[in-house]
Amino acid sequence: MTYLALARKWRPRTFEDVVGQPHIVRALSNALASGRVHHAFLFAGTRGVGKTTVARILARCLNCEQGVTATPCGSCPSCIAIEEGRFVDLIEVDAASRTGIDDIRELLDNVQYTPGAGRYKVYLVDEVHMLSKAAFNALLKTLEEPPPHVKFLFATTDPQKLPVTVLSRCLQFNLKRLSGTQIADRMARICEAEGVTIERGALLRLARAASGSMRDGLSLLDQALAFGNERLAEGDVAEMLGSLDRSRVLSLLEVLAGGDGPALLARLREVDALVPDYAGLLDDIAAMLQQLAVLQLTGVIPEDDDTRDGQALQALAGAMDPESVQLYYQIAILGRRDLGLAPEPRIGFEMTLLRMLAFRPDGRAAAVPEPASTGRAVPAGASRQAVPATAKAPATAGVSPGEPGDWPTFVQSLRVDGAARQLAMHTQLMARTPSGLQLSVDRSNAHLLTDQLRSRLSAAINERLGNTVTIKYEILDTVPDTAAVRSGVAQDAALERARQAIEADPNVRALSDLFGAELVTASIRPAGQGTGDQQ
């Protein structure tokens, strides 16, 4: 018994069956109903979205024995012959194999003769952009003044290659790429009709792999059913596609969100043992980051996502700030692009994830182990550099909640912005009494000591302390222990880590070795680092 592929068996036979192209269906249906049917149509779109399918349905609509209609009967001799590919007045031509002028002349020799069986003689030319310039010129005269019984239906994946003289004589319809949900829903209906047991996650995985093409999706479904012995399980589909289960992708992103370097390396070893398609895995990571960005912006889980992952996505969206999601997405797609430059795909994939860990939007690096001699860990964002020995120690006292035990840290918590925050960042606590604070400001920032900024800063300090104190200022030549100074030290440490990471990157080394490229260290900035003080 001859097996018929699902893409052929379930090809739409009416406009109602066409998925994801309502703008095309509406325009053609209205044209057929009103009798305003043009003599030439151009259907453009990527592979597998239904160009030739729509053209064949239109041919049935024009030649149905019940009359020109948007709903052909499907049972008359003309409809049946068109469906079976033996209708004499539907002439299908593959322009990819018949590109020359002689082929077109042979095709047009019979244009003047009336249809032998139907109402219209329909010429369906697939991949019409493959015709030669001479062939287009031969077609042009007939296309401009065709006999009333002739209709031309053209299909192409590259309409830009058609001469404007041809485009101007056609009604052009652009078919859209299909969404993952549309493809998955269509496959679900087919599986139900075929009596196949399915898992929704398997359909979604196949739909994503189809990249907007229904035909590709149904071909993958055929392959998956053969692989799973007429059962569609997500694990089988993942194995067939050489991809990882979504739970592992979630796991990688959860470790990244936590900034745990050793745990990330452990996850990478587990992934490597499965010998995945690393390019596809980076695609999966980028796709999940896009879903997280949508979730953070709208609070709604993308409709094509599996509800089983909803809670995990919600938790991950809360654990990662939007800036990190955007940065990780950019690193993922750039890593995907450069994967071929890596010594091997596994190394390129690993470096991409380590780069996510090394560059963080807030300028903090991930926690990494100290040398074995100490066994301590460096807190995220901490610097090994000390405050210069000339720094004058700030005043400290026994501190209760809300009080300024560490002045630079206290300043960072104040609810103040703009120039008043600049003033706060450049102050140092010199002395403190129960009723007042003595602050110093370096001479280069003395211009900030205006009455308005003093008033705003005093209000913010009193709000934070929960009581009212008098604040006095003095101007010194140098004020070494301020929030601005500490921020600069931390940024210097982050810049050094960034420089070391970039110089160690295999892609950078490869560019240097192959093309003699030089790294401009002055242009390096840790992710999220600005050019001025924190606002």
At 405, list the tokens.
């035990």
State which residues of the chain have pLDDT below 70.
1, 244, 302-309, 360-405, 489-498, 500, 510-511, 513-517, 519, 521-535
Residue 369 has what DSSP assignment? Answer: B
**CA dist list (Å): 406 to 393, 399, 428, 429, 484:** 11, 9, 10, 9, 14
Judge contact between 370 and 377, C-beta under 8 A.
yes
State which H helix or E strand residue 22 sits in.
helix 22-34
CA dist 15 and 17 (Å) reads 5
* CATH 3.40.47.10 for domain 180-241: no
Q: Give the DSSP H/E element, type plus range, for residue 475.
A: strand 470-476
Topology adopted by domain 246-358: Zinc Finger, Delta Prime; domain 3 (1.20.272)
Per-residue pLDDT reduced to its tens digit, 428-438: 988 888 788 88
The rounded distance, in Å, linking the Cα atoms of 479 and 440 is 7
**Domain 6-174 -> CATH class:** alpha beta
Buried b (16+ CB within 10 A) or exposed e, 434-454: eeebbbbbbeebeebeeeebb
pTM of this prediction?
0.59
**pLDDT in the model for residue 524:** 65
Q: Helix (H, G, I), strand (E, B), or coil: what is residue 95?
A: coil
Domain ranges of the chain: 6-174, 180-241, 246-358, 426-481
Residue 302 is predicted with a pLDDT of 61
Cβ partners under 8 Å of residue 42, min gap 6: 128, 154, 155, 156, 159, 162, 167, 170, 171, 172, 173
Residue 511: Cβ-neighbour burial (10 angstroms; 0-12, 13-18, 19+): middle
Residue 222, token pair as written in the block: 């055929």
